[in-house]
Chain A
Amino acid sequence: MNILREVVAEQWEYRELLVRMTSRDLLLRYKQTVMGFGWAIFMPLVNTAIFSVIFTRVAAIDVGMPYPVFAFCGLVAWNFFSSALRFSVSSLTSNPSLVTKVYFPREIFPFSAVLVSLVDFAVSALVLVALMWWYHVVPGWPLLMLPVVVTSLVIFTAATALLLAMGNLFYRDVKYLFEIVIAFWMFATSVVYPIGRVGGRLGVLLALNPMTHLIDAFRAVILEGRMPNQAFAITTLASVVIFGGAWLMFHAAEFEFAENL
């Protein structure tokens, strides 16, 4: 516990660098692009359009609300998660000169990757508001729980980001495995369809997926006017524990990074 406090204190000491690295990555990401932040909106919009065609025309499903809003809401949250992880996984290996030559807490790399995606998340959330207005979806008072839901999502994402960045530094296989896993993971999560309807053994298995509970809660507080359910509370607790554990592991391995990059 003491180590954890120390690690957090050190991270706090370097908070300016975290902000700096995040703004560096944001700046770099959209430098020499014409659309800039438009890309953060464009990608989920295209996906929403595709899935809208599939799930309203080809294999129509009832989601209890206009499908595009349902899908876009899920995709915004999922895109945050997957893009944060995609940047984190190579965040250490793509900065070899910093990792091997200068010291600062290495968590900054995956954390700034998460923060960069969080900015994109906020930008695309604006489009979600526009879509809700268009489809007359009115949020209720449970919307007040949104900060809690987002925090929980960020914590789970950051925990995974730490593990992936560290894993990829030691074994470059992680990056390739990640691409496969993330593709499957999306369809095992209630991103573009409500996965809670799957029953039987597969349903039980799918219920173990923390992302489903996080995205369900996200949708519940924004679109359905429902409070997050018990599964969300458990997921949040588990995320916090995993996050602490991941950070400690990362810290323990940190000093090996320069030797193994």
Chain B
Amino acid sequence: MSAVVFEGIWKKFRRGERHDSLRDLVPALARGLARRKRPLDLTDQEFWAVRDVSFEVNPGEALGIIGPNGAGKSTILKLLTKILRPTRGRIEMHGRVGALIEVAAGFHPDLTGRENVYLQGAIMGMARAEIARKFDAIVDFSGVEAFIDTPVKRYSSGMNARLGFAIAASLDPDILLIDEVLSVGDVGFQEKCVTRMRELLARGVPLVFVSHNLAAVVDLCTRAILVERGSVRFDGRPAETVAEFRRGRRDQTVRPLPSADAIHISDVQLLRADGEASPLFHTGQPMTIQVHYRAPQPVRAPHIAIDIHGVDGLYCAGINTRMDNWGLGTLEGEGRVELVIPQLNLLPGSYTISAGILDPQGLRPLDLQSHAYPFSVASERKDFGVVYLEHHWRHDVGSPAASPAGDARTPAASLARRRPAAVVGVGGARK
């Protein structure tokens, strides 16, 4: 049995202001009486926010919902949490629903952190005894121990969010709903969120994840649907759905580039060693990035550029044909350019690839697809950071002269010398 059944859901919304005062009520009632309308008829003030959306989520499955702004993603989530009721259709949720949405909505500014934990816990459906049992763990997770008896109006917004999240995370839900939580808090906090989500997922808790963070969707979800103008346009594996979303976006957003008529990127494929397109790679394994182009008119000596960014926006690599002095000549018609990376030295995490075609000077983009192609890297390596540096250790015992820092006169000087390396190691907290 599916944990979540969302079947043939329609949801109608009203544009603009509703008659909010009694003065407008009478004419509205008169109109309502005059015209008996069926539920699926729309007046000129109404529109479908969600139309005929169906999906099921089984235990152990993580469903990602992506789509442009205003597509109806959040409405779907609000329907799942029972805040909104569908105009038509059937929703079934089996078990306790935990929602990582508005985790601090129940907080009252005048109450202390402690009082708010109990209040918010009760709002999320936890019994008093359950909250009392988990209280220490919640406070510990949130990292606001020192301020737990301070009114939350004196908290920073980050502390507020962390405390709220800690409460939500301590809930043992049968179904987990998440809306864009990954966009709040610092990197460390986001990492905690992801870890908690993976934990629950590993236990077989079904997950519904609404996000604009496409890389995170590819990373976390087992399936994804693309929602556009209220209906499901695509349903498949996360990488496919993200690719489909990108294709649709490209048609709308990249077209306006004045030179896009001359040449544009028709597709980008990420290939593994076996030549199969995949969103998942391994540290140290090969990766081939295929850039397909279409040039209706001849374009003289363009350049291809590939950028790789981490999910947190960290610029990991920028490679282009101009820098490599690799000429393409004049391009016309269709073709593809391959960037072969024999060893992908990225550590586990989520990344995105941007692809662009630049003019001969390498200045003006003829076509540019920023952060369009997400992929994840997995590895057995436990190093921190973004990049895998090939390394080995050596240990010399004996006279100081034998050490590589032998010219350092004092220990302090040698420490200062090493500091940049240490910063890379600690600061490179990867998402």
A positions within 8 Å CB-CB of B:
14, 16-17, 20-21, 24, 27-28, 31-32, 97-98, 100-104, 170-173, 255-256, 258-260
Contact = CB atoms under 8 A, between A and B. Distances in A.
A255 B84 contact: yes
B110 A171 contact: no
A44 B119 CA distance: 31
Contacts of B101: 101
25 contacts: A14-B125, A16-B128, A17-B123, A17-B125, A20-B118, A24-B119, A27-B111, A28-B108, A28-B110, A32-B110, A97-B102, A97-B106, A98-B123, A100-B83, A102-B81, A102-B102, A102-B106, A102-B123, A102-B124, A103-B81, A172-B21, A255-B84, A258-B78, A259-B13, A259-B14
Nearest to A24: B119
Contacts of B13: 259
Interface string B66-90: 0000000000001001111100000
A260 B18 contact: yes
By secondary structure, the B interface counts as: loop
A171 B125 contact: no
A177 to B, nearest CB: 8
Contacts of A32: 110
Contacts of A100: 83
Given A24-B111, A104-B123, A172-B20, 12 more contacts: A16-B128, A17-B125, A20-B119, A20-B122, A21-B119, A31-B110, A97-B106, A102-B123, A170-B20, A171-B21, A171-B25, A173-B21
A102 B83 CA distance: 7
A173 B111 CA distance: 31
A103 B25 CA distance: 28
A102 B20 contact: no
A238 to B, nearest CB: 26
B244 interface: no
B81 to A, nearest CB: 5
Interface in B1-36: 13-14, 18, 20-22, 25
Shortest Cβ-Cβ A-B pairs, 8 listed: A255-B85, A20-B122, A101-B102, A103-B82, A17-B122, A101-B105, A173-B22, A97-B105
A71 B101 CA distance: 51
